[in-house]
A and B are shown apart, each in its own frame.
Chain A
Amino acid sequence: MSAMILVGAAVLLSQSGEWQRAVQPRAWKFPEDHGSHPSFRTEWWYFTGNLADAAGAKVGYELTFFRQGVQFTPKNAENPWSVRDLFLAHFTVTDVSRGGFRAEDLLSRSGPGLAGARTGQMDVWLLDWSAKMENGVIDLSARKNALELRLQLKPRKPVVLHGANGLSQKGPAAGEASYYASLTDLETHGTISLAQNAAPIAVSGTSWFDHEFSSNMLAKDQVGWDWFGLHLSDGRDLMIYVMRRADGSVEAASSGTLVERAGAARHLVRAEIVLDVLDHRPSSRSGGNYPSRWRIKIPTAGIDIAVTPLLADQELVAAGLPGLVYWEGAVAGEGISAGHKITAEGYVELTGYAGDLRSIMNNDR
């Protein structure tokens, strides 16, 4: 979801013209649609996961690739440096037991093979960071400044289409929407290295994959959003996003999706979601005052969970694109689902609380 920040930047970066907008439901085809959709300006492949090593020490990770269109037709088509898209990637590791949060980011144009995303297949890369799906298995790889990740992700549930058959409305007007598909339950194995020359740590757990593409999906008065992706211990997965407006109110188009243990997904409308912020915590880095504890109730599904970050400071200040500041962190929760006591783990994303986001986002010219 943080790619939505880029959508804001995109308004500034490119003059929309030939870019296609998400207006009506589309015909999906998988696994082909895990690949790139270059006729849309903004696209992201978003992986988060809650892992643990053999001793049970918890590790969270985020690896995200963004494609941001700059000009639909590059000026000098014969030269690969001529910019069409910019690619960004964010890579964070939350070392819960040792209390460490590390974040790296990359930014590049396509150039002569430096970054890219294939159509018809999930194969996106930025320098030596990549996400590639082959034979139903996703390989993730990233490395920077002694932080290294190599994971294999296998879906346990089918593809989930959010909103109306994958058309996810973000604002009141037509086109203020994105195409949004997820693999919410990915069995994950691999290694993570946290220090130079240290032996890689074998980890396993569950990951979540979001894939979203659109052009100009944000409404003008939206300042940010809160997004939740939770795995409940009874096998249900819950996604919620709440768009916040400048006047403090919540966008009526905000919604969610509940994925049952067997894989069946149900769209949740705004009225079904009760989200209470229980606490706030200011960031020492950016000064943003982030929500830090929540109570989520979905009465229609019998869900009532209290959610807390595994680590307070999981704020990412991107070096590649200054002004891009957001909180994206591993969380845990406990409560009730369908009458049973459950625990939950997952990721939360909080945008628009710090940095220059608002001025970037309001720059719709």
Chain B
Amino acid sequence: MNTVTRSFLRYMFRRRGLTILQFLGIACGVAATVGIVLSARAALTGFSKAIEFLKGKSTHSIERPAGPMDEGMLVRLMRDPAVEAFSPVIERSLRLSNGETARILGIDPFLDKNLRPELAYGVTTDQADENLSDRLAFLTKNNAVLVEAQLAQRLGVSAGGIIHLVKGDFEVVGVFPNPSGEPILLMDIGHAQRLFGMNGRLDRVDLILNDGPGFLSRWENGYHVQTSLKRRETLAHMLRAFRLNLEALSLLALFVGIFLIYNTAMFAVVSRKKDAGILRSLGAHRSEIIAAFLTEILLLGSFGGMAGGVLGYFLSRLLAGEVGGTISNLYFFLHPVPPSWSLWIIVAGTLMGGIAGLLGSLWPLLELVRTDPARALSGRTAERRSGANARTLAAIGAGLILLSLLVFFLSSTQVYAGFAGAFGFLIGASLLTGLALVLISPLLKRTLARLGGLPGKVAAGNIHLNLGRTAVAVAAFMVALSMSIGLSTMIGSFRRSVEQWLENQISGDLYISSMDELDVPVSFYDELRAMKGIEGVDPYRNTLTSFRGTSAYVSAVDAAVLQRFSNFAFLKGGRENWDRVKAGEVIISESFARRFGVKAGDTVTLDAVHGPAELTVAAVFYDYTSEHGILMMDRAHYRRLFEDPTITSLGIFVDPRDPRRGEILVEVARRAGEHDLPVFTRDQLHANALRVFDSAFAVTTSMRVLAIIVAFFGIAGAILTLFIERQREFGIYRALGFSTLQVAGITLMEGVAMGLLSFLMSLGVGTAMAAILIQVINLRSFNWTVFFYPTGAPYLLAAATALLAGLGGSLYPIFKAWRTYPQMQIREE
């Protein structure tokens, strides 16, 4: 290592405070990115692993277009020449008494063995006699289950133990290994039918076929046959919007992270300009200086990145659970595999820190190389041209914003274009910062002068004078604050929209439904309908079906009941839309309409039990339950089409003026209790829905907090650098007669002013971001309209953060100034 580099590294030690801040800045940026990327990947890896594991060797699966099917079809299936092996399956999820959700697979171990030998292992192992009797217990004991090994470990049960489910106690007759780590309970298919009230019916049959096309030609009508690959794709597709949003969040984290590292690197270079000049004038070669800079930046970047990688890994372990929980809440049951530690995480973090650091130092380094030693010696002289620079950058920024808007308008459905536009807008806005600072400078000067007299004026001047650095710091902070405002406003508006929608749509007095995949017995529906005092019962059925080669939901309701009691919000029209539903037409959710390009009056074709059915769309309704689209029809019509009597939940409506109303509701709840069916009041159901909503946005909320923390470090570091670089000026101020207090005031005002400037800019940019998230991103990824409901809270939070960061960043320099008060700091160290 040469002398120059050594001198640079020594400097890092001398300026420990600054070095630590820069280090933390880089580490946080990298951690945010690594954390979100890893957790997203963990959730999705868990997903594909679970799918792969459950698929086994099956090549195809067959099911009804909607709802379970009669098991009588098995006899026809087993005689089909294309069928090499088949296994009927009942697949549901059920909560354990510890609150965890497990997947219940009801299978026939003999048939399933050909498709999933690893599952059947525990059922038909050949090792010892005890296993033979276990095998029989699995078949003959109604409450026998096999438990996935990791779940068994978590619950502390082994063979012979008891596992508690919401539907009673089950005896563990064995444990089986599951590489995907998904909590699975295996149950004999007959017992699963009993448990879920599905005697004689199956959810699907997994198949090994030797002649797919031949099979398809025989089973086309009334059944839905798909290849395992297609099935996996369909499931993966359901996660598409969610995955996109995670990716966007990762990108955001990366964006803020790189911005911060860039910021740090740039300060590192700029603050050393004079040292470089001195060294050059002492005879150091240009290349030596550059090498020294690069070493410093790379060290900082790499070590920061390395620490960030480790930090990000721990962060991802926290987030993975949240991401998995969200997927389970919104889509289907999923157990995320916690991200496993790998040295690559460190490598990736190091590379990211290093590369972002290099990128950040590139521009200042070029500038440095162009500067002659004499000028460099004077330190910050290169700032003179910054006004012109700001204008150029602003022009580029304005261009970028225009381009982004153009992207929004030209590509009105593409989600990726939406994300690209959003990022373009953010970068554009950040490039405007310099000019904004120049323009606001006179106003700032006046304001600060009024507030703080001469020190205020000096503070304002300093911000303007150091534009090259202050602008970058303010821009980075502004971006973080804008993201925070944008995300919060979007989430707030979304939540408000959902609340509104719940008020309209979920208006029954009581709802009877299980949180698990347990159906409501049809007999109970009939019982309630016959009960005196109940005005209406809506037997709601919601299930996945395939539509145009992908999945969408089909729902069945009692149109007459909903017409009387609910208050559905339609895009067009009102209650009269139900008349047409009663006549056999369907209504579709907004997401269905947008996703498939269907509008009121169109005809859609749906595969039903007796072949394709042509359905006319009567109206489009607002909905936030599924981005995949819902097609809703009257129950009578649904039953004709799909021969599926299943009821997912019951909505009970009682006349509000009925004096016996309270009694009736209590009686309904009592009867539901006899069937082990949970009862929810309207308010409880609303609260549940909102809880799901909140958990869905938990990751986004965490990201927002992270963005704020990162930004905090960023601005504090930037302000700190500025001051350290200008320590000599403190001496000059003192020499000019400023008191220590006044010097502290200057520093404080500068810091706070920068924070507030960032905030002021984020007011506009953040609001615009919210609009983009709502009107572009949400609409395109989820196909639903969120109504814009801005509130003050996100702005207040941003303001508070800005103020605190400004204050925080100034405190250390003030402390330094205070401590060194006796010395006249005209001379630099």
Contacts and interface: CB of A to CB of B under 8 A. Distances in A.
Contact of B74 (A83, A112, A144, A145): A112
A360 B111 contact: no
Q: How large is the interface on A (under 10, 10 to 19, 20 to 34, 35 or more residues)?
A: 20 to 34
Nearest to B72: A112
Interface string B69-94: 00110110011010010000000000
A108 B108 contact: yes
Nearest to A83: B139
Among A76, A114, A144, A356, find the residue whose CB has the most chain B CB atoms closer than 10 A: A114
A70 B141 CA distance: 12
A70 to B, nearest CB: 7
A82 B124 CA distance: 18
B140 A75 contact: yes
A144 B75 CA distance: 16
A196 B108 CA distance: 28
B136 A13 contact: yes
Contacts of B576: none
B139 A70 contact: yes
A257 to B, nearest CB: 34
Contacts of A111: 74, 108
Given A13-B136, A109-B110, A114 B74 contact: yes
Interface in B392-417: none
Contacts of B71: 80, 112
Interface in A63-104: 70-71, 75-76, 78-83
Contacts of B199: 78-79
A324 B210 CA distance: 29
Contacts of A71: 140
A128 interface: yes
A196 B71 CA distance: 29
Nearest to B129: A363
B745 interface: no
Contact of A12 (B84, B129, B140, B189): B129
A323 B78 contact: no
B371 interface: no
Given A112-B200, A322-B124, A79 B75 contact: no
B132 A360 contact: yes
Contacts of A143: 81
A151 interface: no
A143 B199 CA distance: 30
Contacts of B674: none
Given A12-B132, A70-B136, A128 B74 contact: no
A323 B126 contact: yes
B433 interface: no
A70 B72 contact: no
Contact of A81 (B81, B84, B193): B193
A359 interface: yes
A145 B84 contact: yes
Instruction: Name A's interface SS.
Output: loop
B125 interface: yes
B133 interface: yes
Nearest to A355: B126
B126 A79 contact: no
A356 B126 contact: yes
B14 to A, nearest CB: 74
Nearest to A196: B210
B389 interface: no
A196 B81 CA distance: 12
A9 interface: yes
Nearest to B126: A322
Interface in B135-188: 136, 139-140, 142, 188
B56 interface: no
B190 interface: yes
Contacts of A127: 78
A113 B139 contact: no
Contacts of A23: none
Contacts of B446: none
B816 interface: no
A287 interface: no
Interface in B550-597: none
A202 interface: no
A302 interface: no
Contacts of A323: 126
A112 B136 CA distance: 19
B299 to A, nearest CB: 62
B691 interface: no
A356 to B, nearest CB: 7
A196 B211 CA distance: 12
A81 B189 contact: yes
A107 B193 CA distance: 21
Contacts of B75: 112-114
A229 to B, nearest CB: 29
B121 to A, nearest CB: 11
A312 B129 CA distance: 31
Interface in A39-84: 70-71, 75-76, 78-83
Nearest to A9: B132
A320 interface: yes
B188 A81 contact: yes
B450 interface: no
Interface in A297-356: 320, 322-323, 356
B129 A79 contact: no
Nearest to B117: A319
B190 A76 contact: yes
B285 interface: no
A76 B142 contact: yes
Contacts of B133: 12
A112 B193 CA distance: 13
A70 B126 contact: no
Contacts of B189: 81
Given A83-B139, A114-B74, A359-B129, A108 B111 contact: yes
A244 B468 CA distance: 99
A109 B129 contact: no
A83 B79 CA distance: 22
Interface in A1-45: 9, 12-13
B136 A108 contact: no
Contact of B108 (A9, A13, A75, A81): A81
A9 to B, nearest CB: 7
A113 B74 contact: yes
Contact of A128 (B78, B132, B142): B78
A112 B72 CA distance: 7
Given A12-B133, A128-B78, A320 B110 contact: yes
B194 interface: yes
A359 B126 CA distance: 12
Contacts of A82: 190
A269 to B, nearest CB: 36
Contacts of B125: 322
Nearest to B136: A13
B105 to A, nearest CB: 14
Contacts of B126: 322-323, 356
Contacts of A13: 132, 136
A114 B144 CA distance: 22
A40 B453 CA distance: 108
A81 B190 contact: yes
30 contacts: A13-B136, A70-B136, A75-B142, A76-B194, A79-B194, A79-B200, A81-B188, A82-B190, A83-B139, A83-B190, A108-B110, A108-B111, A109-B110, A109-B139, A111-B74, A112-B74, A113-B74, A114-B75, A114-B78, A128-B78, A143-B81, A144-B84, A145-B84, A320-B110, A322-B125, A322-B126, A323-B126, A359-B129, A363-B129, A363-B132
Shortest 4 CB-CB contacts between residues of A and residues of B: A322-B126, A81-B190, A113-B75, A127-B78
Interface of B: 71-72, 74-75, 78-79, 81, 84, 108, 110-111, 124-126, 129, 132-133, 136, 139-140, 142, 188-190, 193-194, 199-200, 210
Given A70-B139, A109-B110, 10 more contacts: A9-B132, A12-B129, A70-B140, A76-B190, A80-B200, A81-B188, A82-B190, A112-B200, A113-B75, A360-B132
